[in-house]
Structure 1
Amino acid sequence: MPLLREAVENLRLVFINRLIRIGAYKQSDPMLHKLTLSELIDEYKNTKKDYKTKQRKQS
């Protein structure tokens, strides 16, 4: 596998795992594995921002 493609795929997996870990998606969700790296990063940023906002409101 070409080096750049492998690096992108590894980053995709990192963000997929982050989204699963924070509970935004389930591991079995096929939608998650269809997203591009850019989409995953955006989704992670938005989800993380929403999560922080919820925590502040609960405090």
Structure 2
Amino acid sequence: MDKKISVQLNGSRKIIGILKGYDIFLNITVTNALEVDSKGEHLNIGVTVCRLFQGYHHICPV
């Protein structure tokens, strides 16, 4: 925990931020999150929750 990660989401979206927590369903909380779109542009989104049900492909350390 408290490590920088990259999360590949559905729709070719990616979030980069700090892993703060997860639950038994593998939903994750990411702080200092940046959304990176397909053009490589960054959008600061702060704190976000990525739900496994909505779909993320993989999580990698950065």
TM-score, normalising length from structure 1?
Answer: 0.29
Structure (1/2) with the larger helix percentage: 1
Q: Which has the larger radius of gyration?
A: 1
